[in-house]
Structures are given as C-alpha cells and as structure tokens.
A and B are shown apart, each in its own frame.
Chain A
C-alpha cells in the first residue's frame, strides 16, 4: 500500500509538472503582451519593463527561471493589477471559489447518491421515472440557464434567498446548487445503474436467503459495492466543478478565481493566468490523489496501476 501511495504521489507530481509546463510555454507563444498599447512605449522603457517582469532572454531561459520561481512558491507579479503579486490576487480570490466548489461537491455527491439509490429502490415507479427525467434535464441544461432561473424563482419570486452578494452562508446556497446540478444528476444516474446491477448479483440473493432484511442487505452489502463507480467519478467531478464554477461565478457575480482566470486570459495577464492554472491543477491533482488512495482502501479486489 505504501509503495502504491508513493508511486501515485510521484505520478501526481509529474502530471502537475507537465500541466504547468504546457501552460507556461503556451503563454509564451501567445500574441500580444502586457505592453501592447495603441502607442507602444519607447524602446528603453520597454526593455526595463521586460526586465522588471523577468520576461527577457530566450524562451528556455524564461521557462527555467519561471519554473524555479514557481518551485519556491513565487508566482511573480501581475501585469494588470499593479502592485499586486499573483500570490496575493489568488490568496484573496481562491477561497471564495473553494468554498463554492466544496459546498457544490457535497451536494452533488451526497445528493446524487441518495437520489440514485431512491430511484433504484423504486425502480420503474413514478419516483424513478421523475428522478431520471429530472436528471436528464439537469444534464442537458447548462448552468448559465439554470442559474438565472434559480435566481428568478428563489430570489425574485419566492424571495427566500438573496439574489446576489457574497459573505453570509445563504449566499452560497443558490450558486452551489446551480453548480452541483448537472453533476448531482450524473452521480444519481451512475448510482442508480450500479445499484440495480449489484442488487441482481448472487451475494445479494444469499444475504436475503439468510434472512437479512431488505434495508440491512442494502446498507451492509449492496451499498459498499454500488458506491465504487461514484468514488471513481469523484476525481473528475472535482475537475469539472472547478471549471464549472467560472460560469457560476459570472452568473452570480461572485469574485472568485474563475473570474480572475477568464479576465487574465482576456487581459493577456500571463503570470496570473499561469498561476491560476497551476493552483487549480495542484488542487485537483491533490484531490485525485486522495481519491485514488481512498479507492485503494475501499476496493481490495482492484489492482490499481501506477
């Protein structure tokens, strides 16, 4: 097990390195820089600016110097937000995104498992049909349509939740449900199918034959196996929630890291861009690592390749 954890840790680090390298190199080849104005500054000032932002030298020199700065945890200065380092910008915005993502993650995984199990238990009844139709609807409709609908219903019509704003706990509810929606639906479908499959299996019949009650057979035997596909999906889920949160942050006007990322692309604020990608990916890869290790504990039958 320790060897497995070690190998996974190594491969996670390798993935992170590749991901960041690709982004850095892509940002170098992007056209347009921080000093592209209608009237470009005189040459000596341009040179000074390039030196100040550590942009002079060949591509290789710039790459290695950036990577060594990154290894020390220095994400350098933002071009756009004067007097701000990328570390400061991200430290201010990232917690908002993480908070939103974490709440959405819990809603999607727990809600999806509950809804999927319910649908599987009431197979082909009204509950099942409506749950699965609802799930298909949630998967089909993008969050930037469900978002305004949620605002209209709960914010403007029923007036039970705030329309916008950020800070108190009730501000998180609507965006989190909006972000979690499609993934809740996906988890529910996954859980329903997997539970139906498991309930057909031999060991369930044996359990029932032994006289274990329905509820106990479900809780003690079926759930343990049926939940595995959902656990595998938790890693990709985290990645999807991160990118999905960009749209939700835009719709609900939350000042999070998603907005920072989109703006940095539009402003050609390269170090902020690369920094955001690096932190995002580090978070997702760390999370995946945890899920992988967890999976290794949960399912002894499966040999995980490293």
Chain B
C-alpha cells in the first residue's frame, strides 16, 4: 500500500509527457485521426456516380470510370467503388468500435467501482461472476442474441414504417425504411458492448481497492459525504486516465468481434459495409484462376494497420498511466 500511495504522491512522471515522447503511439494517433476524418469527409466529396452499383464489376485498381473519374481501389461484385466502400466501412467499423467500447466502459466502470468500493463478500461474488463469464464462449451467445433480437427490431421498425404510411407521416416512414437495413448495427453495438466490459471491470476494481484506502477518501467520508458522491467526485477523476487507456484497448477488441461476426455472415449486411463484411465478400470471390486480389488486399491492409495503430496507442497509454499492469 505504501508503494501505491507514493505512486500517486507525485513521484511518478507526468503520463501525458510520457505519451508525447512515445513516438509509435503518436504516429498511431495521427494515423487514426486521419482515417476517421477521411471516412467522414471523403465519401461526401466523391462524385455520386462512383458510389452507385453499376455493370462495371471487378475492375482492377486505378481503372477509369465512364465519367472519367478513377476507381482508386477497383470495383467489387456489384460494380461499386471499393475505395468508397472501404471508407464507409471504416465509418461503420470504427463507429461500432467506439460506441461498443463506450457501452462497455459504462458497464465495466460502474461494476468495478461498486465491487471495489463495497468490498467483502459482495466484491468476491461479483468478481467470481466476471471470472465465470470470462471463461464462457461469449461470442457464441452474442450470435444467438443478435439473431434473436434483430428479427424483433426489424419487425418493430417495419411496423412503425407501415403505421407511418397509414397515417401519412412521410418523414417518419422514410426514416424507418432507411433504418431497416441498419437494424443489425444497433443490435450489434449493444450486444458487443455487453460482452467486452469484463477487463474494464477488473482493472477499475483493482484501482478502487487502492484508492479507497487513501486519506482523501477518509477525509471526504469524515466530512459527511455519501458513498455515491465519493465515488463520483473523488474516485472517478482519479480513475479517468486508466479508463481512457482501457477504452482505447477495448475499441480494437470490439472491432475484431464485429469483423468476426460479419465475416461469418452474421453481422453487417448489404448495403451497409464494414471491414469484416468487405473481407468476407473478398474471400468469396477469390479463386486460383482469376485473382481479384484487391478485394481482399485493401480491406485487409487497412483493417490490420488500423487495429495495430489502436493497439499501439492503447499500449502507449498503458505504459504512461498504468505502469504496474502486466498483460
């Protein structure tokens, strides 16, 4: 405990300064910002003709489109520009990653804080539960869960659309019809958030166990502050960097899960795309006679580099803010 207190007494170098000196992590950060920005801005700037499906299927990279613009990464099975799909796929993959990680952050932080702060038997039971969930094949349930829930959401959305049609609410009708192909996205974000919180809960609990013994918590309690106030006002700010670190490490985990589901055909469906579904499409048309390598190579490279960058950044954050942790 003495060692832990000295760690927080200012003996430790400033984490942000350490992070700034970590060159791989900074390069990763710049790269990720560029990808995120490009995925939002570039599809919006691209000529409309490139985004449509067309009869020009399986064009190799740098082929000319009829309108004179260039297919940077070639076209896919539906004659859509692969570069455009990669960027919209990045939007979906990164979006699911970030949203899923935030959901897992909320659950994991709350769970870990309660377990750590209450302590005793409650803590033991809660952590035993985490251990059990850890060792059950969770993605199996996610798949079952998504299949079960998605059909309900689809029916619900379609019902709302029909209802709007009946009542002449054109705006709502169009909105619901537009959401219909994306219903799975919503279900996936929620369910992936529901499985990836375990590590966060463990880490937060461990930190809370250290923090709650400190003088400022005793002082706050002596001043008559309630448990909730102490958790929110005193513990949460001290946990923020650790939470940020593990948020960064959860994003690639969620993206991997999503791509995994999409690759198996249980996740994102056309017309939406994600890196996983693009890779699935690429893998389906690969054969030794006529190689359509670009359909596999571009999504694979973009996805690998992005995940690597996220992990580099997360590791950098961890080295800076959580130097005692292993794994």
Chain A interface residues toward B at CB < 8 A: 11, 15, 19, 22-23, 26-27, 29-32, 136-137, 139-142, 144-145, 148, 156, 186, 189-190, 193-194, 197, 229, 235-236, 238-240, 242-243, 246-247, 250-251, 261-262, 265-266, 273, 277, 280-281, 284-285, 288, 305
Establish whether residues A193 and B326, one from each chain, have CB atoms under 8 Å apart when the complex forms: yes
Measured CA separation A29–B145 after assembly (Å):
10
CB distance from B128 to the nearest CB of A (A): 5
Q: How far is the CA of A148 from the CA of B144 in the complex (A)?
A: 27
Cα–Cα distance between A189 and B141 once the two chains are bound (Å): 28
Q: Which of B250-284 contact A (CB under 8 A)?
A: 252, 256, 259-260, 263-266, 276, 279, 283
> Can you list 6 A-B pairs with a CB-CB distance of less than 8 A?
A136-B311, A139-B311, A140-B311, A186-B327, A273-B144, A284-B135
10 A-B pairs with the lowest CB-CB distances in the bound complex, closest first: A31-B151, A193-B326, A140-B307, A235-B135, A140-B308, A243-B139, A239-B137, A145-B300, A288-B135, A141-B304
Distance from A57 Cβ to chain B, minimum over Cβ atoms (Å)? 20
Q: Tell me, yes or no, whether B303 is within 8 Å of chain A by CB.
A: yes
Cα A280 to Cα B137 in complex, Å, equals 8
Q: Report the bound CA distance from A281 to B141 in whole Å.
A: 11
Residues of A contacting B276 with CB < 8 Å? 142
The 0/1 profile, CB within 8 Å of A marked 1, for residues 99-124 of chain B is 00000000000000000000000001
- Bound-state Cα–Cα, A140 to B134, Å: 20
B315 within 8 A of A: yes
Contact B263–A144 (Cβ < 8 Å): yes
| Total number of residue pairs linking A and B with CB closer than 8 Å | 123
A11, A140, A250: the one contacting B252 at CB < 8 Å is A140
Whether B135 contacts A250 by the Cβ 8 Å rule is no
Q: Is residue B83 within 8 Å, beta carbon to beta carbon, of the partner chain?
A: no
Contact A265 B283 (CB under 8 A): no
A189 to B319, CA, bound (A): 14
Contacting pair A15 B312 (CB below 8 A): no
Give CA–CA (A239, B139) in the complex, Å. Answer: 9
Tell me the bound Cα distance from A29 to B152 in angstroms: 9
**B286 located at the interface, meaning its Cβ lies under 8 Å from any Cβ of chain A in the complex:** yes
